[in-house]
Structure 1
Amino acid sequence: MSSLKTASVPVRVNPGQEAFPAILPEWPENQRPAFVQQVWRPAALVKADALAFLIFERPDLDRSERFLLDFGLQLIRREADVLYFRASASPACCYVVRRGSQARFAGLGFELRESADLDVLTMHAGASRESKLEIPGGGQAVRLIDPLGHEVWALAGREHGKPQVELEARLPANTPTATPRVNATVRPPFGPSKVAKLGHVVFQTTDFTGLTNWYMRHFGLLPTDVLYLPDGSPNLIFFRFDRGDEPADHHSVVIAGGLADRYEHSAYEVQDLDALGQSSQYLRSKGWKHAWGIGRHSLGSQLFDYWFDPYGAEHEHYADGDVFTADYAPRYSPMNQGGVWMWGDDVPPHMLPKPNLTTLWHAARLLWRRKLSLARLKQMGAALSEPARPWMK
């Protein structure tokens, strides 16, 4: 019999009402239910070690600069048509904004540990060499194009220097059983969040199998958590980097099946819950639009707070995430709204497919082009139709 791990306990409701357990079933890969399909992993060409940077295009660089500074990134260099930002963990660039006629996500970069891996991607994946690397951090680079049309840079030999993560001084927390903080008060500073590092990026795709196989094949990404539809077919995977015995974040790339090919959001690590809370107040004071939070995710466990940039792209602050070594086996869970977070407000409507004519048009077009079957469309609808927290009605 499969062993069932639950992420929380059943919730008690008013007498006479049905109790709805807020649990997230998690099966190790070798104990998953028989109907759940195992993720096939192609042999990797190289193994990426970290996210290097993300690339966005924006019509107005000034608006983007104001948001990103308020969000907690640091400006490295400003040129006529490009902005380069860093986090506190490294002087190398982690965020690029290029001037473009329309707002869009343009690409991402991966760091490799060995420069010889660049040759592998050139010979076996058709990557093109970059003769001159303008992005701060230096090193050598090649470029590919992923199935969504994004630029994908692979870099080796970037210069990070000595890590200098900027952390605020924190006094110890008092608990019901220990009070180490005596005659002292907690007053976390009000201001930008001081982003420590780029954490992850999330994509939605109409070709789930094709895109997940491409990233596993080219960069050796490891599935940490796999979410499956009612028929047992995977439809969302949290990927981490294969660093062997060195722990890696629970996810650095997330790919979800859906009705469009698009960037979903990106995430940036901050110090702790106080940093989330105070920076959330600061961003509100600057007039930026809040998206979701504060709460705690289920898969990855991180505390989160989401914001919209000036062009509606979601940017997440997070803290206290899980890390795993390469020998940790993937876990399989049913895909539903409730599995996204442990506490906090429900998933906002803008993060879910809208029941309108636009959604119907996208679905009809995919069905006509045979990029989506009616059976899979029904499975996706069933997975997202269940109320996330029924007892909160």
Structure 2
Amino acid sequence: MNSTTVSPVAEVGMLSARERSDHTAFVDGGFLYVWGGHHSVAGEEVFFPSDEIWVYDMSSGVWTIYAMGGEIPPTLSQTCGCCVNGVLYIFGGCAENGHTNQLYCVDLLDGMFTWRNVTDSTGTPPSPRDKHSCWVYADRLIYFGGYGCKQMREVTDSRRFITDEMSWVTIGTMLFRFWGWNNEVHVFDPRTNTWSEPQMHGIPPKPRAAHSSATLGRMGYVCGGVEAPSMNIHCLDLETWTWTEIVPTSTVPVERSWHTLTPLSDSTLFLFGGLSMSGETLSDGWIFDVHRKEWRELQHSHRDKPRLWHSACLGQDSDVIVFGGSRDYALLADTISVLQSPSQSHCSDLLLFDTQPLPLLRLCEDCIGRNARTLEQQLSWLPKKIQEKLRKRILFFRTAKSQGTYNSR
């Protein structure tokens, strides 16, 4: 990461990023980036400023916070963030004045962290929405689903948009608009600065929001969500725009929403946490093989750490790093908004899931990092490059121990 042009606000190696839910996170070049989200202050839900970004060095365990400038987006809930070639894009969400369909971007590699509101694009952007998802393929952003509002003339197909009947009670006099869930696919191409809506083929999944999605090769996968909680996997060919449903041949995880789906390899996906249809916050982890059409439950040590509204990213050596989220939530009956329970707890810890055996080199580095007092004197015998890497691992485990925020396997 090039940070020579701008100084960080603070390096907080002995602290961690504040506990939060509903944030955007992704991994790039050995760093975990975290932006936005909200937390609790004196019993009230407060959103984090949108003019700061937290960066976590996965080798050393050090958090650094950077200030951001430019055309700063408003604080947003349920927005959709993704990274393409080192550029972070934020689309949609709910701001103080309601749902939005604005697109913002910021280059994370030039060291300036300057936001830009993308207002000069051509084509028709999606309608305002939140709780949607995004696939990245061929340097394009492909948005799916979500919950939002449409004008009457825009609602032309009940298979693409399901009206939320409770919204008539909530929205009141705004009868010229419909609120509900959609299964639309919209594409933004940063190279041409253009929005498009491709013609779909096959049988699409039901409209939904608060679902999870992931990209494997040329295929986009989606499962679960509000109003469509089934754990059957739907996949979209991102070149032919053809939908296919994958019906599992094995035991299926319980239906859920607000969970995560992370690509592990060319053929496997990792699912973690979420909120069950009975309102239980979940802590189970599952691996889905898209070729065999099989779910396999992953045994892990984090069963006592349920999460929803968390983030999950593929880290080093095929491990999955889960950050933040909430341990308890309650849904309102109208599903437009989410009511935090009085005991709601946001999290700031990092959960690491090993999905396959670690390489011998990684095991050795971690062993030295955990036993630094015994082995630190012998480090001087090693080449300088190896010394530097091992000192980062030593710092990682020291920081994790002092913070109590890192939960290993």
Higher normalized helix content (fraction of residues): 1
TM-score computed with the length of structure 1 as normaliser: 0.25
Higher relative contact order, structure no. (Cα contacts within 8 Å, ≥ 6 residues apart): 1
Higher normalized strand content (fraction of residues): 2
